[in-house]
Amino acid sequence: GAGVSQSPSNKVTEKGKDVELRCDPISGHTALYWYRQSLGQGLEFLIYFQGNSAPDKSGLPSDRFSAERTGGSVSTLTIQRTQQEDSAVYLCASSVLAGGWGTDTQYFGPGTRLTVL
């Protein structure tokens, strides 16, 4: 079946502009995660959605970052007034469900490479 897809694959923008990144999780997956990987850095958690629960936004680096998940499926990560330090690969992952000791393998999308000039 189809995996996690993300769009666009690459995005170049000017400092100060807003950008939207899209994630289509695997159908039926209730949990959705956003991460970013800056050049030379490890992966960093941004935000987590689980079903209809309030999202865990504890990883968002500033109030310029926000995310929505509509209808429990597609998610959009929005970065307002982009800065050069926002340049990174933004990765989305989904899993069947989260919590406890159950099988919870996360399936990653290919990522969106964001470059802020």
Partner 1 sequence: KNEVEQSPQNLTAQEGEFITINCSYSVGISALHWLQQHPGGGIVSLFMLSSGKKKHGRLIATINIQEKHSSLHITASHPRDSAVYICAVRAPNFGNEKLTFGTGTRLTIIP
Q: Could you please report the per-residue DSSP string of 2-23?
A: ---EEE-SEEEE-TT--EEEEE
Please report where in the chains the tokens 């406890």 appear, as a residue. Answer: 100
**Residue 44 and residue 27: Cα distance in Å, rounded?**
24
Q: Does residue 2 bind partner 1 (CB under 8 A)?
A: no
Q: Which of 86, 84, 66 is nearest to 20 (CA)?
A: 66
Q: Is 100 in the site for partner 1 (CB under 8 A)?
A: yes
**Smallest distance from partner 1 to CB 16, Å:** 27
Nearer to partner 1 by Cβ, of 14 and 103: the residue is 103
Residue 50 touching partner 1 (CB under 8 A): yes
Per DSSP, what are the bridge partners of residue 5?
A: 24
Among 59, 72, 73, 80, binds partner 1 (CB under 8 A): 59
Alpha-carbon separation of residue 71 from 24, 101, 107, 113 (angstroms): 12, 26, 20, 26
Interaction between residue 11 and partner 1 (CB under 8 A): no
Q: Which of 33, 82, 114, 116 binds partner 1 (CB under 8 A)?
A: 33
Contact residues for partner 1 (CB under 8 A)? 31, 33, 35, 42-45, 48, 50, 56, 58-59, 89, 91, 93, 98-101, 103-108, 110-111, 113
